[in-house]
């Protein structure tokens, strides 16, 4: 199994509070991704990174920001959480050109 961990695994927070989710990999892969999973929508890309300090937006990036200061860590921040951001968040990594993505265990976030 690819070495990907996510923390926390579960979180309950209140509307308006900042939240940071962490993805950590031990594979030294260049590409990292954040997805959210909602019933009836599959997985949708929030942000991705193609190197340290190199990030870009996905299809559902509003209300989210990311940072990648080290190859192994990719942080997802909700500056001011809203109830619509209640979801399961997955981090994924991929090698340079294989396009196969390996997923972390997911974080269930509930915004009350």
Partner 1 sequence: AQTVTQSQPEMSVQEAETVTLSCTYDTSESDYYLFWYKQPPSRQMILVIRQEAYKQQNATENRFSVNFQKAAKSFSLKISDSQLGDAAMYFCAYSDRGSTLGRLYFGRGTQLTVWP
How many CA atoms does the CB half-sphere of 76 hold within 13 Å? Answer: 34
Told to check if 33 binds partner 1 by CB under 8 A, we report: yes
Tell the smallest beta-carbon distance from residue 59 to partner 1 (Å): 8
Question: Binding to partner 1 (CB under 8 A): which residues in 57-86?
Answer: 58
d(CA 67, CA 59): 17
How many CA atoms does the CB half-sphere of 15 hold within 13 Å? Answer: 4
Mention every residue, 6+ apart, whose C-beta is less than 8 A from residue 7. 21, 22, 24, 107
Among 24, 65, 86, 103, binds partner 1 (CB under 8 A): 103
Tell the smallest beta-carbon distance from residue 4 to partner 1 (Å): 10
How many CA atoms does the CB half-sphere of 41 hold within 13 Å? Answer: 13
Told to check if 31 binds partner 1 by CB under 8 A, we report: yes
Q: 40 or 62, CB closer to partner 1?
A: 40
**Binding residues for partner 1, per CB under 8 A?**
31, 33, 40-45, 48, 50, 56, 58, 88, 90, 92, 94, 96-103, 105-106
């Amino acid at each position: 199994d690819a070495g990907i961990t996510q923390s926390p695994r579960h979180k309950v927070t209140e509307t308006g509070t900042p939240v940071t989710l962490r993805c950590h990999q031990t594979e030294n892969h260049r590409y990292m991704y954040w997805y959210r999973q909602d019933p009836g929508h599959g997985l949708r890309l929030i942000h991705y990174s193609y190197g340290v300090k190199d990030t870009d937006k996905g299809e559902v990036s509003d209300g989210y920001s990311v940072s990648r200061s080290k190859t192994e860590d990719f942080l997802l921040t909700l500056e001011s959480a809203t109830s619509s951001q209640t979801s399961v968040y997955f981090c994924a990594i991929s090698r340079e050109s294989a396009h196969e993505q390996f997923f972390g265990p997911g974080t269930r976030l509930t915004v009350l």
